[in-house]
Structure 1
């Protein structure tokens, strides 16, 4: 996709290592250097001068585990490792990918403002800032748990939103989500494609995102930038998302094109986001600038993209204060996602909060978390064998597979659509006289399984 920003000539991967100048060199070095990590180049996002070998040895893995995992992972260089590799629980956070999808809802008031706004360009400023807001949470380097097929996550009691997500496919891993309040409808089919490069992994978002603003029926579609996780095994792990974010108003043809700067030498440009809101004739109307981990601001501009005289740069969004020295770098909202305070009455037994491995990790019991994770994964494999033996197919409960295939910059995507059944289910539960949230919920109640009485082989 061609860029409208002249600063994009450097490419996505121009600074993924402190001594490398382009992606091709980095890829060659990763592949050629997999026989050992001595001398392995490690990206330091803070631009320190520490010896690369010493930096590499400071990785998140325990020393006795690191070499074994490094040798194992060599076999996957160049591969898509989305669901190929079973990873140890010590690199996980106590949250599933479905809960991670719900983190976008933290600053949902921005979409409320977009719906209420009469200015079509400011409407896009609010909506784009909402999409950018989640990147603060995405910089966490802990890995969320892969959802079990049929797993769900529900959220209420935040901004009037009802949120439901479901794992609709296991190979390849795909999730679908739906959120709604009085101002907007949010729908997503989420799928990622990865490429493992040795000490880093590229993540390409093949998902489809749609937002409908209810007042005028405006439909918005997002194409996010790719993400790169650096120093996956050696060195201090950190995340960057260099490239374009494009938000299009399908109703009017207006759009926003923002460029996420890559982290350069000594951390230059890291977190920076710049770009414009364009009208349907591709003329710039509002410039946007900021840092995805801090705040975003906007200012009206002329046809050359220069600020209009007499206007000033105004802040539209700022990240909320986060807990200090939190073990998993969680925000206050992330903690709420694990809490039953945001759960509805009669929580579905398939909800991520009830996962025993997630619950054990949250308590700090890595041994139990690892045991429970392996147990769930084996049960999932047993379910698959049973399903295939009986000629059955898994059918999602809250989303329907469609015949629609939508293109993305990184491949085609099969689309799942919300079928409305959860709205009916939730209304029935909320109206029932016994629809009271239980207070003695335990992790043992987690049940996403298709076969209720099926024992693991």
Structure 2
């Protein structure tokens, strides 16, 4: 979604006003944050935008394939598991304030990862799932499973655990996009619920998501921003943090800025500042000392690799196999083949929905179940046994046809 309008805006402004490529990029964004469409692609986008109305819900709008990041949203969520060293061992910190800060580090380190250019991942179809395993250098493992549990409204449920390292993360993502005239907003409803298995008395650490904005799609400078406030909290210890993702002002400010104040009940613990795309710091309220929470420039390349089964061994509704033809076509820059591949998946989804409606049956998620308004993993009895977790995610009897 974001990639569509950011690229479209630059193209429309360039055509309508005679701007050059140098005119279209905001001063302090990264070089690969923007891109220019060619003549044919720009014409398609111009036609699409002409059909939109202010306030329109964009969940049902189908977008051209050349704005797509070649992976599903279910896989993109794994970006937040890319720097496990930031949270592993947090349960051994005696100070609950330090444990809270370690959880914040995990969360903040996931935002810097993005494809070249401004793109949007594939919208998962109902019943699609993505799974992977992490094999860490010390011999321990982590496991991840995400599933599209609802189509209208779209809801992606996800679960990550590393029993040996004492971390479990459960959550949902519920994006809602609207056309606002000169911008598009995506409200990122949902939350991350982190549990430190070695400090279960802490209960859950809950973190919500910021919203996303594509600004200047028709006039002015075009840019993609994270904005508004998300909340991190641990009610057991009275720990709270309001994290503000700052959008740039018209005349002042900078892109990708973030700030936040950590408090424990009524006492100030410290403040967070910096840029989520560069360096983020924590300043202790008692000592005044500052320390780096995460340096995306220095450490951003050290992303923990994940193991994903070869596509021929995956199930039909597994993300990489499901979107294989689309991903291949995008890599070859064959937009005609990409459009056909994307349409084939979406048409099959519509046909499956029609058949369910005719039979009067509802879709039942495979890996998750709804409990008290939350999507929870339908785990085996011993959810801290790595072998059982692996068998639950990759059952030996699973179909591969």
TM surpasses 0.5: yes
- Checking the alignment, whether the CA contact within 8 Å between 2:83 and 2:303 is kept in structure 1 is no
How far did residue 72 of structure 1 move? Answer: 2.8
Distance in 2 between the 1:425 and 1:285 partners? 37
- Checking the alignment, whether the CA contact within 8 Å between 2:184 and 2:215 is kept in structure 1 is yes
Unaligned runs of 5+ in 2: 1-5
Distance in 2 between the 1:276 and 1:320 partners? 24
- Checking the alignment, whether the CA contact within 8 Å between 2:83 and 2:302 is kept in structure 1 is no
Distance in 2 between the 1:117 and 1:43 partners? 48
- Checking the alignment, whether the CA contact within 8 Å between 1:46 and 1:266 is kept in structure 2 is no
Name the one with the larger strand percent: 2
Unaligned runs of 5+ in 1: 1-16, 18-29, 49-57, 303-307, 324-330, 405-414, 436-444, 448-457
- Checking the alignment, whether the CA contact within 8 Å between 1:220 and 1:248 is kept in structure 2 is yes
Distance in 2 between the 1:233 and 1:360 partners? 29
Distance in 2 between the 1:114 and 1:400 partners? 29
TM-score (norm 1): 0.70
SS in 2 for 1:289: strand
- Does residue 293 (structure 1) correspond to residue 277 (structure 2)? The answer is yes
Distance in 2 between the 1:95 and 1:428 partners? 24
The aligned counterpart of 1:386 is 355
| 1:216 equivalent among 199, 206, 213 | 199
- Does residue 174 (structure 1) correspond to residue 155 (structure 2)? The answer is yes
- Does residue 420 (structure 1) correspond to residue 401 (structure 2)? The answer is no
SS in 2 for 1:206: strand
| 1:371 equivalent among 337, 340, 356 | 340
Distance in 2 between the 1:428 and 1:396 partners? 14
Per-residue displacement from partner, 1:20-67 (whole Å, max 9, x unpaired)?
A: xxxxxxxxxx9xxx9x9846999853179xxxxxxxxx9643323424
The aligned counterpart of 1:131 is 107
How far did residue 287 of structure 1 move? Answer: 2.2
Distance in 2 between the 1:80 and 1:94 partners? 26
TM-score (norm 2): 0.79
Cα distance change on mapping 1:207 and 1:59 into 2, 3 Å: same
- Checking the alignment, whether the CA contact within 8 Å between 2:314 and 2:400 is kept in structure 1 is no
Cα distance change on mapping 1:201 and 1:43 into 2, 3 Å: farther
| 360-369 or 159-168, which deviates more | 360-369
| 2:255 equivalent among 259, 262, 270 | 270
The number of residue pairs the alignment matches comes to 367
Distance in 2 between the 1:359 and 1:257 partners? 41
The 5 A counterparts of 1:284-433 are: 284-302=268-286, 308=287, 312-319=289-296, 333=303, 341-343=307-309, 347-354=314-321, 355-356=323-324, 357-404=326-373, 415-420=374-379, 424=388, 426-427=390-391
Distance in 2 between the 1:135 and 1:429 partners? 26
